[in-house]
Amino acid sequence: MKKMNVLIATAALAFPLAFTAPLAASASTQTVQTTQAANKTTYKYTIAKNGTNFFSKAKVYHTKDAAPTLYKASIGADSPSFTLTKKGKLKAATTYYVTKSVKTAATKTTKSKTFFYVKGHGWVAASALTAGQFKQAD
């Protein structure tokens, strides 16, 4: 009796597998439309010696009329590399809090740049932010 139960259970489990192979073969012959991810621009930098700074208390900065580009960063663990990928834009005329800064090393073709980490958003070029809280002009 026990062998009969094992045989029935095996047949019940194998039954769906018998029909999935032909369906999988027919599914692979159909054309599938895929959407490609948008071209994301990446920038690679080398972090300058003593170029990182983590603020114990967040510093206040604001954006002016222009909306600066926001980046997602990958920081190398074994090498001083800093790779930025475009993520979006910050809102113009808004106050933000900066918790980290990274200064990149200058090369023959580029000057050194500083990037700030805007808390909860991502990395922004320091030249795009102004120190202090945003105040609406009268």
What pTM, to 2 d.p., does this model score? 0.69
pLDDT 10s digits, 46-71? 999 999 999 999 999 999 989 999 99
pLDDT for 56:
93
What is the 3-state secondary structure of the chain? CHHHHHHHHHHHHHHHHHHHHHHHHHHHHCCCCCCCCCCCCEEEEEEEEEEEEEEEEEEEEECCCCCCEEEEEEECCCCCEEEEEEEEECCCCCEEEEEEEEEECCCCCCCCCEEEEECCCEEEEHHHCEECCCCCCC
Confidence of residue 4 (pLDDT cuts 50, 70, 90): confident
pLDDT reported for residue 1: 75
Least confident interval from 14-18, 68-72, 74-78: 14-18
Q: Where do the domains of the chain lie, and which CATH numbers do they carry?
A: 42-131 (2.30.30)
